[in-house]
Structure 1
Amino acid sequence: MYKVQKKKPEVDIHSQLKYRFRLNFYDKPPLDDIIIEDFETFALDRLRVLAEIETAFVRNSPWETIKKHTEDQCRKYLELGHTTAKTKDLDRERQKDHISHFVLRLAFCRTEELRRRFVKAETTLFRIRYANEDPQELISFLKSRDFDWVEVSSAEIEQYRDQLDAAGGKGSDTFYKVGLNRDAVVVFPEVIGLHQVKWTRVPDLVEKRKVFLKGGMAYVSSKEQSSIIFQSFQAHLEKALELTAKALPRLDEDTRIVPILDHLSQGFLAGGTSEWNNATSANGDEITADMVDDISRKHFPACMRNLHNALKRDRHMKHFGRLQYGLFLKVLGLSIDEAITFWRRGMSTIQDDKFNKEYKYNIRHSYGLEGKRANYPAKSCQQILMNDQPGSGDSHGCPYRHFSPENLQTALLSMYSSQGLTSADIPEIMQIVKGGHYHVACTRVFEITHAKYGIRKDNGVGDGESVTHPNQYAAKSRELELGATKGAVKKDTDGDVAMS
């Protein structure tokens, strides 16, 4: 039997909050005044969480792994404390959650594909929050909503006891018989009791034979009622997205919002936005032109390996290639003087006068030393995937997206076979690429080529995160090598001490 504990008389803490519950079906749009910075940053933070959820599904991660990675991402970007938390600004956290959901609803309502992906990710986020909810809070939340279910009477339970036991498993009557009253609650992470709904609302339970069916109704035990709740959340969101899509044309003339929505809707393609847009050198250490070739073989993602190899092969590179590669090297730690040296050597077929007039200025411009003197960030995966598509003779872009399947396979084996990538790994990577999840394919290559440092599948570039920026890939790779080197030095030092 489950424990029954007396409910202590207390003040209703929900009544003191603007957002009463941590769980939310997002029935009502936010009516607050929202500054444009919050409009975008709230949505970007939520997008990072949803993108990692989708990435985990693409990688066929087990549920516990998906749950852990999502919880880690939420702690970083979308914290949502329990109602009993006294040290948190719960209204502010829940306002961010509320606003960010509706902004992304605007961004992802545009196509059926985007709607499908958004619903799957949001439903997964709801499931994880549901599983982590305080039992009493969960009961309060569910009692506040109408799920269109009918509580089964004691007489019916007795009448169909054998069938209910067969559906719920041996001993399942222990939770049918226990109910809620004014003085006590049952400590159990679900609503207690037996309910019936139309069988079409729980097809997953019908398929698994976890419900008793009679007269078109499914009798659902408390431990399976989450299926009804999740289905309700999903159906509600699907309908809301369709209505949002119909209303979206009214925003077309708003020049502030539409570009933001365009940017967000592209986010899933690159696994979310990146925090590396304004990154500096990975370790704060400068690199020299002489070091680039060696670093490229050990630490560069495929896009930058391809650019580096193309420069060595052709002794020349077109504008967008130089821009993509040059900004990457700048953030990697190549100073302006070393950058000029690197490009002068790399483009050795160009005469000095032409190089100084046509190329040196552009290099200095990218470092903020010419023109409007802006400090340009390196291009993220999203920008590489979506902007300035490569044409004939170009070397820029993302190999996972812009190479033919045959060329991609050949290029990957050529680039990474010395780091442990084999032909046996290629089918998995190509299957991910076929699904359009290019950042996941790049992340998988990172895991395979860094296995010697203890990186395993689902580790990503750290804490399960996917690659969202070329400099992120390079920085994490260099960090792993540095950590391994320090560990080896310490081990040798300890050994010397032990011998002395």
Structure 2
Amino acid sequence: MFKAGNKAQTTSDLPQYGLEYPHRLNFYDRPPLFDVTLEEFEVAALDRLRILAEIESSGARNRSWDETKDVTNKQCDKFMPLHSNTAIHVDRDSERKRDVLGHFVLRLAFCRSDELRRRFVKAESTLFRIRYDGQSQVEREAFLQSRDFDWIAVSDAEKEQHSKELYDAYLVSGSYQVNKADREFNFKSEKFYKVRWTRVPDLIERRKVFLKAGWAYVPSREHSSIVFQEFEVCLQKALELTAKALPRLDEDTRLVPILSNLSQGFLAGMSSEWTSGTENGEDIRAEMVDELARKHYPMCMRYMHDNLRRDKHLKHFGRLQYGLFLKVLGLSIEEAIIFWRKSFSGKTDDEFNKQYKYNIRHSYGLEGKGVSYPARSCTQILMPTDKAEYVCPYKLFTPENLQTALLKSYSSQGLTSNDLPEVLNIVKAGHPHVACTRVFEITHASCGVKKGEGVGDGESVTHPNQYAALSIELEKTHREEDFDAMAIG
């Protein structure tokens, strides 16, 4: 069991609505004070990380704010839903407790370096803004009233004293959309608040506030800027405090590996492993592998397959990674032995049986401890290593070599030289899995995949088998649709 915090709660601490957490919006300044299992600890963090990873991917893919909100909301609905207070038939407290738990676990994982803290604050702030925009006016006002944002209401006399300056700033904030009479009427009813100018740099940059003697006069419609700035400042301070306390946690051998895996996944730009069995629902035979590689493989597995065909050999770690990929894709142990025997055509039967057959059976769980090993995920492939045979090509190749490899591998599937600058820019920005996702979209446009859709609901590729299995499924669906259309015609 894991218990966060050291202060017990009483019923007098419970706020309105009869809920322990009365608001969907949260500044996370109250740590979780409840017991959780180790599994709940990890799963809540992984699900939240899936959401934050897609927020980062949205930035790498230059999605608009509306597109980012749409993708993020879909991820939230799938992995960490938060219903409004009107949803009385839903266990809202359980949802919100899980939200808080996931945030604090990730805070432990990502307080360890300046880079992790910066990226975590940016992603969490974006998530907070999206949730803030999605709140009803009633719930948003209730949340704002629950906190002290240290703003000073401007009196009617002071508003009248600076009416011209305030009105000019008010126009910049969007009031020009109505006629003059309506603008003046709305301005008279608008409330203004004073805060120190350092708290609203974004509004100052866009000239949406009036400045005087170090104070910024903020119209109520722009409250969100103060709220967002406050959220970022509070989270940054909390992460720095957590980093100082972290050494005491290193004694817990149960938690440290989980936190390390979470931070490594975030640095790689994704959340966790994609796991599945034979996604295409059909067994794969050895003679099918060449065509599958040509039509459905991501770059990392194309690189493996091409090396195998060229050299009639792969080193140990390359064989392990590619063999597990084929296993998860649907290659049975019998077909795997046939495939590898033909691939190592330079070896005699005796050499093959002695040097390679045992390891193939071992990866299927038929030798040794009897463990059927999973295929490696993008996160694992992207981890630093000196074994180049199983490093992601988007990370390993020079820009020139990557361009050549992409055109060689995917030009028959619709990728052209015009697509390369976009893909290379994504790689340069440090998001290889997003570049792989963009290649997937381009090469599957004929199957109806649109830009921004990724591998479904805007998600990015997180596993080579995910890429290949979905590619096979899309081709099968597209082929059946064409067959149906021909039958109708």
Partner of 2:178: none
The separation in 2 between residues aligned to 1:29 and 1:76, in whole angstroms, is: 24
Bigger mean CA offset, 424-433 vs 353-362:
424-433
The separation in 1 between residues aligned to 2:250 and 2:403, in whole angstroms, is: 42
Tell me which amino acid in the other structure corresponds to 1:105. R
Any conservation in 2 of the 1:14–1:83 contact (CA below 8 Å)? no
Cα deviation code 1:466-489 (max 9, x no counterpart): 000001101111121112111101
Distance 1:174 1:292, change over 3 A: farther
What 5-or-longer segments of structure 1 have no aligned partner?
1-11, 179-191, 496-500
Alignment of 1:99-498 (within 5 A): 99-169=101-171, 170=175, 171-172=182-183, 174-175=185-186, 177-178=188-189, 193-274=191-272, 276-277=274-275, 279-386=276-383, 389-391=385-387, 394-495=388-489
Cα offset for 1:321?
0.5
Cα offset for 1:177?
4.6
What 5-or-longer segments of structure 2 have no aligned partner?
1-13, 176-181
Bigger mean CA offset, 465-474 vs 405-414:
405-414
Cα offset for 1:456?
2.4
Any conservation in 2 of the 1:447–1:456 contact (CA below 8 Å)? yes
Partner of 2:53: 51
TM-score after normalising by structure 1: 0.90
Cα offset for 1:404?
2.7
Partner of 2:43: 41
The separation in 2 between residues aligned to 1:78 and 1:50, in whole angstroms, is: 11
Any conservation in 2 of the 1:157–1:176 contact (CA below 8 Å)? no
Cα offset for 1:390?
4.2
Cα offset for 1:308?
0.5
Match of 2:35, SS?
coil
Cα deviation code 1:3-62 (max 9, x no counterpart): xxxxxxxxx983411112111001121121221111111000000000000000111100
Any conservation in 1 of the 2:15–2:21 contact (CA below 8 Å)? no
Cα deviation code 1:352-376 (max 9, x no counterpart): 1121122111111111111111121
Distance 1:443 1:77, change over 3 A: same
Match of 1:256, SS?
coil
Cα offset for 1:133?
1.0
Any conservation in 2 of the 1:152–1:196 contact (CA below 8 Å)? yes
Any conservation in 2 of the 1:315–1:348 contact (CA below 8 Å)? yes
Any conservation in 2 of the 1:286–1:333 contact (CA below 8 Å)? yes
Aligned residues: 467
Distance 1:87 1:174, change over 3 A: farther
Match of 1:252, SS?
helix
Cα offset for 1:412?
1.4
Match of 1:463, SS?
coil
Bigger mean CA offset, 305-314 vs 249-258:
249-258
Partner of 1:21: 23
The separation in 2 between residues aligned to 1:174 and 1:130, in whole angstroms, is: 27
Cα offset for 1:68?
0.3
Distance 1:418 1:239, change over 3 A: same
Bigger mean CA offset, 402-411 vs 474-483:
402-411
Match of 1:27, SS?
coil
Match of 1:376, SS?
coil
Partner of 2:100: 98
Moved segments of 4+, more than 4 Å:
170-178
The separation in 2 between residues aligned to 1:478 and 1:126, in whole angstroms, is: 37
Any conservation in 1 of the 2:273–2:378 contact (CA below 8 Å)? no
What percent of counterpart residues are identical?
Answer: 61
Any conservation in 2 of the 1:340–1:363 contact (CA below 8 Å)? yes
The separation in 1 between residues aligned to 2:408 and 2:419, in whole angstroms, is: 13
Cα deviation code 1:89-128 (max 9, x no counterpart): 1111111010110110011111111111100110011011
Any conservation in 2 of the 1:104–1:264 contact (CA below 8 Å)? yes
Cα offset for 1:136?
1.2
